[in-house]
Structure 1
């Protein structure tokens, strides 16, 4: 049997058949079982901040796995404490901040959901607001927050009390009052096709949440760890949340998530109200410290800002009738298409040795490693142009504007 056949025979059918079986990676490139080389401009869906097999990450993982891998949450480890302190500093939570470790973005949002339920103000606060077309994860609490009805439908009833609203300042002003416990939002809707919030939205959300005693909880699972050209995307709006959820890029490939609380929000959780067996174990926290340390040392946040603008210019410069707009910030970009051919374009890119993602039929998402440089950008330019030409020559779109 081939590896694809063995996959189909062994794996539960919750995912589509794999596009390829990958066996190794180095930097911004990966290779499949046949030796085909691909430029990875998805980075495990914004996970592989340092690309593949980065020597600092490898060294940290090897050292820690050979020393102390797991100890349960009855004990602490130096790497766990160091990472919590680092996240407090990087997020801006400061001395009053606190960190809860878990294993994924969905788990971080589950913890944040429970945190929101604790902000009751004597029972007056019974509503949690989230945004239409948002995505916060696939576990039941995170799914309740997710603003995609088709994803929720097979699993109803999901946990109650969540109201999804349109992504407009007018809707915020209409719905946010003293009966609301928390507002959940993504600063960029990654799974929706990299959709930016309206101008001024986060600043107004912060004002209204402060006015009404509502927790502003920002999901930075996909946007955090420097991906948008700031450590966290809320920094672009000069606001601070009451809590932020992070995962993906902070681990660079190891499974880790965290909830970081700010100010008085740090006092809501009491002992025994939440926990995780694997959360914050020595292996993942040591590896995460190495990843975040390299991002700081090598100014990869600045690199994300610079390279993102260069990639945007490359895409616009392709002057393709298929490309209608480029959205997002830094190294989380969405390419809006004029025709519903994103799946075909992503498939054509794969044939050209380029990994990108069709977030929906009208959107291509790209999220390369933060280490991306001149050579990779030139390679992307060549391969994506070739993919566009494949789709355009198929007759699916006009050949000229």
Structure 2
């Protein structure tokens, strides 16, 4: 769906073609920022955008069953991301809260907000076209996960989307339903005496279950039909633990003395397909050329410091003349990803006075490349190559009953 619109970025020239300042940049008004921008999870951003095999409220937009993987009673997550080659001036924010009701049920609420400010793109709705100081897209998600059997999580979410393609004016509203599942199993797949805690995870998600592939974008008396994405995603991951000798760190400070001498490894893969949907009166049929694959790896040392690496590839329409005029200027979206982070044991550092632990993650790396190579791209786009993403997760510690009874 939207991918072809996002990726098929249309440049229409006016006045003097040799002057970059006299280009006019038109952009479709749809939800590509939310669905094809940076993931809500900084961890997933660093690992090839592999979202559905990772747990936590930060991934509930892509797989509602992610809620069921959390172990503690309460989880709070915030992320911010900025950096895009073609969506200049755009940023993503996400806030999410998950609460475990009992051993089988977890509920969550989250908001994702995509913002473009002072972008060179022009909004088009029907015969209306104009530049905008700000455009926004928001998704409010109410989700739940249930465990019918041990190691199996199934989840569903209701997602309310609000688009403002004209500054501070709501031009579209739509409600979609998503479902997903996660299954974990222990394994001894790799036979090695030092390798322990081996686990394999399988994940499936269906975003936009009712297949609402067409939305109506309205402003005053102007109307335009746009695409909505329908995503079917499959994924799997592998986890294992190896010993790690960090005696060279113990001489610097006592902070490392009680940390586990281990490195936890995980590998993730997912494939996403965009489905067509029932309505044929949509702007683009990008389901014909939209498949993505993500690969990710993670190494967590001493349950404290983590490195992440990944690769992402997404097919896009071929460069060349676009239907209805203009020219597709982007190419397949692809490239390496990288990130790092810390697990901060706040509970222990405060001598069990603050019952919270924190995960702090960063991506400070180049953006995934999506600019074409057969046509000269204006410098206003080619110079935007840096991605910054920050995520923090607060997890409330499940205090033992004895601690609760002795608390003042």
Q: TM-score range by the shorter chain?
A: under 0.3
Alignment TM-score, normalising by the size of structure 1? 0.24
Judging by fraction of residues, say which structure has more strand: 2
So what's the TM-score if we normalise by structure 2?
A: 0.24
Q: Which has the higher helix share?
A: 1
